[in-house]
């Protein structure tokens, strides 16, 4: 018996599955968010309004006048205090899910939506911080280090930022280092700096563990150099036409202790690693506006957050803006 030369049933049959949907969503690209960790915290108690006043004293100058034997000093030393205000704003967002997508969807969409919303909330806090820091930098030119056209981020610039902070008596964080957050395009130039005294040169004389990238991929620490612990983030602002038309400027920030203070309500921790959302599930008929129960779940966040710079008038941060050699 001769075999047929053409199959009688082909993939053109109406019931043939043309697409297979993988049931696991591809992980979305995310920035690493580190600005929240740079800000010192103040606890905002419940039922106390949305404004917290903070204060600090102006340091005293030296007394160069010797006392006269047996003669009391004329008047005591006056103290001068400065005040600032942390004003909390409310941030709310949610994702709601229909009963159909929950019952028939090919992946756990509620869990996926909650994860995406958690990142959105953390990114919101990160952006609020960078906006406030940029506003403080605009008001105080001494905080800005703007690198000239065709020049790039170097170890010398990093050391300059740290030295400028020390020159006005700003102290490092509790681990003995200033904390820096830097764009990945600037970190490339920083760790590829081959000039005398640059990062590559320092590797010859400093123990590698003092300079290396952190092996924990969740932290994205790229370098420890010049008294600064640098972390990489691409959520920082980009400046169009910086120093020259068509050239982008990228940001790096260096913070000392008590450079800024932050306060929050309803969420005590708002950073990327621990930001959480509330997931709610609704029974049919539980909502008078949705008696048929077509909305069966929601992911949401609702928090109050604010920050302010140190009140004494001496800013405890520096902001670097520079081009990148690769972007």
179, 220 Cβ separation under 8 angstroms? no
Q: Where are the beta strands (DSSP E) in the chain?
A: 40-41, 51-57, 81-87, 89-98, 144-146, 178-182, 221-225, 228-232, 238-239, 249-255, 260-265, 278-281, 295-309, 317-322
Task: State the Cα–Cα distance between residues 95 and 76, nearest whole angstrom.
Answer: 61
The answer as to whether 261 is a domain residue is yes
Q: Is residue 245 part of a domain?
A: yes
**Structural domains in the chain (count):** 1
Instruction: Write out pLDDT tens, residues 57-97.
Output: 988 899 888 888 888 877 888 999 999 999 999 999 999 99
28 pLDDT band, cuts 50/70/90, is low
Q: What is the mean pLDDT of residues 249-275?
A: 86
Please state, as a whole number, how many other Cβ atoms lie within 10 Å of the Cβ of residue 11: 8
Residue 176 lies in a domain: yes
Q: pLDDT confidence of 187, banded at 50, 70, 90? A: very high
| pLDDT at residue 212, rounded to an integer | 55
What confidence score (pLDDT) does residue 105 get?
A: 87
The confidence score (pLDDT) of residue 314 equals: 92
Statement: residue 154 has pLDDT above 50 = yes
Look up the domain containing 234 and give its range.
Answer: 35-47+84-282+295-322
Give the pLDDT of residue 69: 87
Residue 161 lies in a domain: yes
Residue 327 maps to a domain: no
Mean pLDDT computed over 108-125 = 91
pLDDT for 45 beyond 50? yes
Q: What is the per-residue pLDDT for 215?
A: 47
Tell me what the mean pLDDT of segment 276-302 comes to. Answer: 84
> Is residue 145 in a domain?
yes
- CB of 211 within 8 A of CB of 225? yes
Q: What is the per-residue pLDDT across 162-180, written as a single tens digit (0 to 9) for each? A: 999 999 999 999 999 999 9
Does the pLDDT of residue 197 top 90, yes or no? no
At 216 the pLDDT is 52
Q: Which of 254, 203, 247 is nearest to 230 (CA)?
A: 254
> How confident is residue 251, by pLDDT bands cut at 50, 70 and 90?
very high
Full DSSP string of 144-212: EEEPPTT-B--HHHHHHHHHHHHHTT----TTSSEEEEE-HHHHHHHHT--STTSHHHHTTTS-GGGTP
- Residue 289 belongs to some domain of the structure: no
pTM over 0.95: no
260 vs 42, 197, 246, CA distance in Å?
10, 31, 33
In a domain, 17, yes or no: no
């Amino acid at each position: 018996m001769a075999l047929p030369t053409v199959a009688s049933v082909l993939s053109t049959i109406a019931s043939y599955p043309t697409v297979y949907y993988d049931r696991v969503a591809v992980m979305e690209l995310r920035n690493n968010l580190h600005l929240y960790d740079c800000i010192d915290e103040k606890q905002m108690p419940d039922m106390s309004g949305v404004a917290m006043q903070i204060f600090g004293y102006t340091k005293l100058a030296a007394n160069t006048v010797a006392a006269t034997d047996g003669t009391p000093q004329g008047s005591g030393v006056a103290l001068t205090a400065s005040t600032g205000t942390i004003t909390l704003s409310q941030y709310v967002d949610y994702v709601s899910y229909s009963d159909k997508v929950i019952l028939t969807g090919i992946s756990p969409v509620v869990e996926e939506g909650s994860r995406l919303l958690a990142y959105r909330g953390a990114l919101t806090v990160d952006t609020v911080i960078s906006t406030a820091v940029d506003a403080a930098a605009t008001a105080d030119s001494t905080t800005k280090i703007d690198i000239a056209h065709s020049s790039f981020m170097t170890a010398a610039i990093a050391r300059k930022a740290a030295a400028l902070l020390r020159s006005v008596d700003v102290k490092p964080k509790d681990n003995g280092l200033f904390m820096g957050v830097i764009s990945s395009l600037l970190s490339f130039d920083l760790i590829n700096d081959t000039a005398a005294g640059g990062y590559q040169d320092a590797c010859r004389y400093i123990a590698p563990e003092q300079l290396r990238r952190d092996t924990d991929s969740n932290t994205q620490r790229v370098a420890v150099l010049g008294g600064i612990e640098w972390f990489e983030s691409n959520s920082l602002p980009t400046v169009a036409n910086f120093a020259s038309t068509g050239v982008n400027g990228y940001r790096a920030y260096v913070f000392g202790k008590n450079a800024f203070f932050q306060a929050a309500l309803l969420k005590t921790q708002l950073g990327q690693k621990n930001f959480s959302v509330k997931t709610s599930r609704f029974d049919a008929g539980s909502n008078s506006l949705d008696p048929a129960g077509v909305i069966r779940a929601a992911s949401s966040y609702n928090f109050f957050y604010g920050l302010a710079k140190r009140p004494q008038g001496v800013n405890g941060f520096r902001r670097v803006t520079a081009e990148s050699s690769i972007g």
